[in-house]
Amino acid sequence: MGLYNITYKNKETEKEINAEMGKPFGLIEKLKLGGIGSRRMIIENFSEDIENLALKVSGIQYANIELRPNGIIVHINQGIYTHAWTIPYFRLSVFNGDFFTIHGAGSHIQFNKEKSWKENKEFLQKIVKLKSEFVSV
């Protein structure tokens, strides 16, 4: 699991993310998968170890998820900054309760279920399917 500030393009950071998650899918793979990005989701809560990503001022905070061959990248908007949280499939868990929650390596982010679940239900099912395919190989 890595946490990267990707506000500005940095070739070293890009190399690290690509080494961990695999290179971004090409056009044909994107079409086969029916898209590789979620719609934006409203963040409700962070685990303590990544709570520093929460907005310091009040307001709605958003994130979206990108699929990669070896895992997912959660793109978290923090005001003018953007952070990428990389989670390999073998460390990824998705829970559906009062919130829907993404867990990875002991950390988690809870998302507002009312606004984010309906728009992203199919995408989250795609994540679970890719995870099961990756782990079973």
**Side chain identity at 103, as an amino acid letter?**
H
pTM of the model: 0.92
Residue 53: pLDDT over 90? no
The pLDDT-based confidence of 27 (bands split at 50, 70, 90) is: very high
Identify the pLDDT of residue 10.
Answer: 94
The CATH architecture to which 2-136 belongs is: Roll (2.30)
Identify the pLDDT of residue 137.
Answer: 65
Q: How many CB atoms lie within 10 A of CB 10?
A: 13
The pLDDT-based confidence of 58 (bands split at 50, 70, 90) is: confident
State the Cα–Cα distance between residues 89 and 91, nearest whole angstrom: 5
3-class SS shares of the chain: helix, strand, coil, % to 5: 35, 35, 25
**Residue 72 CB partners (closer than 8 Å, separation 6+):** 21, 65, 66, 86, 87, 89, 92, 102, 127
Q: How many CB atoms lie within 10 A of CB 72?
A: 24
The pLDDT-based confidence of 47 (bands split at 50, 70, 90) is: very high
The pLDDT-based confidence of 5 (bands split at 50, 70, 90) is: very high
State the Cα–Cα distance between residues 97 and 24, nearest whole angstrom: 30
